[in-house]
């Protein structure tokens, strides 16, 4: 609750200040609000033209706007009206800078006018800006609760952008792409090839693949293409290339998931390992501090407890490959208490205890948790849940395929999340996306496969620095 100070309550020498950290989201919101889209002030841009992403600097008027937060919220507070403002800008502000914004009353004039000195510094005292403000102070007490102010969603996919950038630093992954014979699947393969993420072998009906290439306006000169009309036979050939050592990953094109996985999971000649295969969705949800991993939403329809052990371990491994240290894993159910009438709550409790005993490794596992208290701190506090995971879950293990599939699609279409998909537990990573997914989703899936392959090979992630706090 903000309470103001009226003209009569203000004295010369009164002071107020706030502390503010400059973030990339601040720059994007200000660009939209002001209409100033100078690339110098925008993240993820190459404004120098040297082919590298340049570090943005904050617009000077964004810094100036912080002064109004002190005036409008604290001194004088609600009801204040700006009259004049001067600024001298001494230094530029970068993302991550911590600013101290202060005002000091220097005089009181007739008609309710208050004069103030304005100062903006970094925490170390370095001057960023100073100036003089004059405001009309309120004449009556006003209390205002700003908690109902609508939230602003900044639709950015910073996590995938950075995962892709990190993956580009690694050696490209030889990849068999099965039936890339529609524009979306072929475009994703071409994008990943151009970014240096994969070295593709296209397997499928050559006439349809060429037609798709013509539709998106790309040339397949230089691409290795194995002409196999039947999609099942193309999938079998892709698996055979793994055994021959010619590829280290598979990528699903425009064919049914079952047609590809049938050959992956075959007992003879497939790509089975001792662990049950499962699928992970890695979601880049705007506003979340880390990617969100969801499993299993594509392969195991109604997993039993033993299968859930492998699903959980596979999901933890995927999170580790992304650079999440000791990922926080929420085992989801409809409730956050153990209820014998709800089997998923029993499984969740057992999985949590198994993790405590080292039967599941690499993450902090807790359950059962309902969706709200798994991801929202306030919801967890309201229900009295004390847990390292509750409110902070980065990995969500769902009770069954239906719930996982609905959760992933709700995040995609309601929160504007981007999704990458990967099958884990086979001898090589399998990029598994929906046939309707666009090229961007397939590009992100390639980055995920490359990062996972690196983690498997080296025992350490290549992407530790991609997670933002």
How does DSSP assign 35-59, residue by residue? ----GGGSTTB-TTSSSSPBPPB--
Residue 467 has a pLDDT of 43
Residue 187 and residue 116 share a domain: no
Residue 186 and residue 139 share a domain: no
Q: Which tokens is 179 given?
A: 């039936």
Q: pLDDT-based confidence at 47, cuts 50/70/90?
A: confident
Residue 185 has a pLDDT of 87
Residue 119 has a pLDDT of 98
CB distance 183 to 212 below 8 Å: yes
Counting the structural domains of the chain, the total is 2
Lowest-pLDDT choice from 160-164, 201-205, 276-280: 160-164
Q: HSE (CB half, 13 Å, CA atoms) of 110?
A: 0
- Position 363 in a domain: no
**Domain final residue, candidates 148, 172, 203:** 148
**Domain final residue, candidates 148, 177, 207:** 148
Residue 468 has a pLDDT of 44
Residue 431 and residue 407 share a domain: yes
- Position 313 in a domain: yes
Mapping DSSP to helix (H, G, I), strand (E, B) and coil, where does residue 427 land? Answer: coil
- Position 375 in a domain: no
- Position 94 in a domain: yes
Measured distance CA(372)–CA(382) in Å, rounded? 11
**Domain final residue, candidates 148, 173, 196:** 148
CA angle 440, 441, 443 (to 5 degrees): 60
Residue 24 and residue 67 share a domain: yes
Residue 442 and residue 300 share a domain: yes
Residue 129 and residue 224 share a domain: no
Residue 210 and residue 73 share a domain: no
CA angle 204, 207, 213 (to 5 degrees): 90
For the stretch 134-146, pLDDT in tens is 999 999 999 888 7
Domain with residue 285: its CATH number is: 3.40.718.10
Residue 270 and residue 203 share a domain: yes
Owning domain of residue 113? 2-148
Question: Of all residues in the chain, what percent carry a pLDDT higher than 90?
Answer: 79
- Position 368 in a domain: no
Domain with residue 139: its CATH number is: 3.10.129.10
Q: Which tokens is 78 given?
A: 């609600």
- Position 388 in a domain: no
How are strands ordered across the β-sheet holding 15-21?
15-21, 98-108, 113-122, 127-136, 81-89
Mean of per-residue pLDDT scores for the chain: 92
- Position 359 in a domain: no
Q: Which tokens is 451 given?
A: 């990062």
Residue 297 and residue 168 share a domain: yes
Residue 221 and residue 112 share a domain: no
- Position 236 in a domain: yes
The predicted model gives 139-167 an average pLDDT of 81
Residue 293 and residue 251 share a domain: yes
Residue 184 and residue 137 share a domain: no
Q: How far apart are the first and last CA of the chain?
A: 27
For the stretch 313-331, pLDDT in tens is 999 999 999 999 999 999 9
């Amino acid at each position: 609750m903000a309470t103001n100070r009226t003209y009569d309550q203000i004295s010369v020498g009164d002071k107020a200040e706030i502390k503010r950290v400059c973030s990339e989201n601040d720059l994007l919101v200000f660009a939209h609000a002001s209409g100033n889209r100078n690339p110098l002030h925008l993240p993820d841009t190459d404004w120098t033209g040297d082919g590298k992403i340049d570090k943005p600097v904050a617009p000077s008027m964004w810094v100036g706007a912080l002064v109004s937060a002190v005036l409008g919220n604290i001194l004088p507070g609600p009801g204040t009206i700006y009259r004049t403002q001067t600024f001298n800008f001494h230094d530029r502000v970068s993302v991550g800078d911590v600013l101290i914004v202060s005002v000091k009353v220097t005089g009181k004039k007739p008609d309710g006018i208050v004069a103030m000195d304005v100062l903006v510094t970094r925490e170390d005292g370095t001057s960023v800006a100073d100036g003089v403000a004059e405001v009309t102070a309120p004449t009556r007490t006003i209390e205002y609760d700003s908690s109902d102010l609508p939230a602003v969603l900044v639709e950015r996919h910073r996590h995938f952008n950075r995962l892709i950038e990190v993956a580009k630093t690694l050696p490209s992954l030889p990849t068999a792409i099965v039936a890339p014979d529609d524009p979306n699947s072929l475009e994703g393969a071409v994008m990943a090839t151009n970014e240096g993420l994969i070295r593709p072998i296209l397997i499928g009906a050559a006439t349809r693949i060429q037609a798709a290439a013509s539709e998106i306006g790309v040339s397949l000169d230089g691409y290795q293409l194995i002409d196999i009309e039947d999609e099942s036979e193309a999938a079998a050939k892709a698996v055979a290339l793994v055994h021959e050592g010619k590829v280290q990953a598979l990528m699903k094109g425009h064919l049914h998931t079952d047609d590809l996985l049938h050959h992956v999971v075959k007992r003879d000649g497939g790509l089975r390992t001792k662990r049950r295969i499962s699928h992970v969705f890695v979601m880049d949800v705007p506003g979340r501090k880390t990617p969100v991993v969801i499993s299993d939403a594509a392969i195991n329809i109604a997993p039993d407890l033993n299968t859930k052990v492998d699903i959980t371990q596979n999901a933890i491994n995927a999170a580790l490959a992304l650079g999440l240290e000791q990922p926080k894993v929420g085992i989801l159910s409809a409730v956050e208490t153990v209820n014998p009438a709800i089997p998923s709550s029993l499984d969740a409790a057992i999985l949590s205890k198994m993790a405590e005993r080292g039967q599941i490794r690499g993450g902090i596992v807790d359950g059962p948790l309902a969706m709200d208290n798994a991801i929202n701190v306030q919801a967890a506090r309201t229900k009295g849940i004390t847990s390292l995971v509750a409110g902070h879950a980065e990995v969500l293990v769902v009770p069954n395929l239906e719930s996982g599939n609905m959760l992933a699609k709700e995040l995609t279409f309601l929160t504007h999340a981007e999704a990458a998909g990967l099958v884990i537990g086979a001898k090589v990573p399998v990029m598994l996306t929906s046939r309707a997914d666009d090229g961007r989703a397939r590009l992100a899936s390639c980055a995920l496969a490359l990062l996972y392959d690196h983690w498997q090979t080296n025992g350490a992630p290549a992407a530790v620095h991609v997670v933002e706090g």
